[in-house]
């Protein structure tokens, strides 16, 4: 069994101010201070995205999704900065339903986000679609954010989302419905018969979460069978990310994939309460927070 108290202790002992605030939100829903949220949102480019450390001042799809994951752990996806980022991501969708980094980042982007690479394209498509799905879920759960103005108050009609066949309705939480639908169809077209994708492992669990919400339950189950078969050899970071993603979209905690993931996390939890990141020890707290989100 995962020792959540030990995991909490690890984050308290080793996390920075933002990471400890993320822990407080995950544990008790304690809202961070406005100053801390401003700090977490710092560096956003006026267009809505965030640049990567490796990308100079060009907004990065990958870096923006990473920042959204941190803001989600702070309960901040409904704030203006996150909404601008989500709008920017939606606006970057390409004609085939996918995403990739700006061509200006080709010389600097890491292998998992390199423009023109089909594996990177699938990974970014799954990542963006996941966060737009989460945003839609949160918006629908919260209900209308504001009363729609009377028709005469519109300077122009709301923009049509031709992929959804309707009008964008932010008040109803459907702003990204057409974008997500087109992206889900693009991902489904790349799903292999054995439940895998011709890309990185994370594409599997992110797509499984998206398909679950799109009611593509057969496709989601095929992916989860493949992931569960690999579970005994998954890294702690992958097991934590997998479980956190499925829980975030409402997959029941007793679902067999999540039971297997928690078992893997219990096997790999260190004596200090944390889990090892695949990206270096500086990200161990981030991995541990993902495990806490998965197991709370």
User: Do 86 and 51 share a structural domain?
Assistant: yes
* 51 falls within a domain: yes
Number of domains the chain is built from:
2
Residue 96, number of CB atoms within 10 A of its CB: 13
Output the pLDDT for position 143.
Answer: 60
Both 139 and 95 in a single domain?
A: yes
Domain, as residue range, for 130: 45-146
Alpha-carbon distance values, 27 to 118, 214, 292 (Å)? 38, 29, 9
> 50 and 21 in one domain?
no
Tell me the backbone φ, ψ of residue 217, rounded to 5 degrees.
Answer: -70, -35
SS3 at position 50: strand
Given 125, 146, 167, which residue is the final one in a domain? Answer: 146
Tell whether 156 is covered by a domain. Answer: no
Residues 6+ apart with CB under 8 A from 165: 178
Is 174 a member of any domain? no
pLDDT of the residue at 95: 96
Q: Are residues 214 and 295 in the same domain?
A: yes
**In which residue ranges of the chain is pLDDT below 50?**
145-172
Q: Give the C-alpha separation, 88 to 106, whole Å.
A: 20
> Does residue 160 sit in helix, strand or coil?
strand
Domain contains 212: yes
**pLDDT tens per residue, range 120-173:** 999 999 999 999 999 999 887 776 544 333 333 333 333 334 343 333 344 435
Question: Which DSSP string do the residues of 8-35 spell out, in sequence order?
Answer: HHHHHHH--HHHHHHHHHHHH-PPPPHH
In a domain, 109, yes or no: yes
Q: What is the pLDDT at residue 146?
A: 44
For residue 172, being part of any structural domain is answered with no
Distance from C-alpha of 263 to C-alpha of 107, rounded to nearest angstrom: 40
Domain membership flag for residue 167: no
Please state the pTM of the whole predicted model.
Answer: 0.88
Residue 171: inside a domain: no
């Amino acid at each position: 069994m995962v020792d959540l108290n030990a995991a909490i202790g690890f984050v308290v002992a080793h996390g920075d101010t933002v990471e400890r605030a993320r822990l407080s939100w995950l544990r008790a829903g304690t809202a961070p201070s406005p100053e801390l949220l401003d700090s977490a949102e710092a560096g956003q480019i006026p267009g809505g995205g965030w640049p990567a450390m490796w990308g100079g001042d060009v907004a990065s799809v990958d870096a923006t999704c990473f920042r959204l994951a941190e803001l989600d752990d702070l309960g901040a996806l409904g704030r203006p900065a996150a909404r601008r980022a989500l709008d920017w991501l939606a606006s970057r969708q390409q004609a085939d339903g996918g995403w990739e980094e700006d061509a200006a980042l080709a010389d600097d982007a890491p292998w998992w986000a390199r423009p023109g690479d089909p594996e990177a394209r699938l990974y970014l498509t799954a990542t963006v679609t996941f966060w737009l799905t989460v945003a839609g879920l949160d918006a629908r759960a919260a209900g209308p954010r504001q009363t729609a103005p009377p028709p005469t108050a519109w300077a122009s009609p709301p923009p049509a989302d031709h992929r959804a066949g309707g009008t964008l309705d932010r008040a109803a939480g459907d702003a990204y419905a057409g974008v997500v639908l087109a992206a889900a169809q693009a991902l489904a077209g790349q799903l292999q018969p054995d439940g895998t994708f011709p890309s990185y492992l994370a594409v599997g669990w992110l797509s499984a979460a998206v398909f679950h919400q799109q009611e593509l339950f057969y496709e989601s189950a095929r992916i989860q069978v493949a992931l569960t078969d690999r579970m005994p050899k998954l890294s702690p970071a992958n097991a934590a990310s997998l479980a956190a993603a499925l829980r975030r979209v409402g997959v029941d905690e007793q679902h067999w994939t999540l039971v297997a993931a928690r078992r893997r996390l219990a096997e790999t939890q260190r004596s200090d309460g944390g889990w090892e990141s695949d990206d270096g020890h500086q990200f161990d707290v981030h991995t541990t927070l993902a495990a806490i989100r998965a197991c709370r």
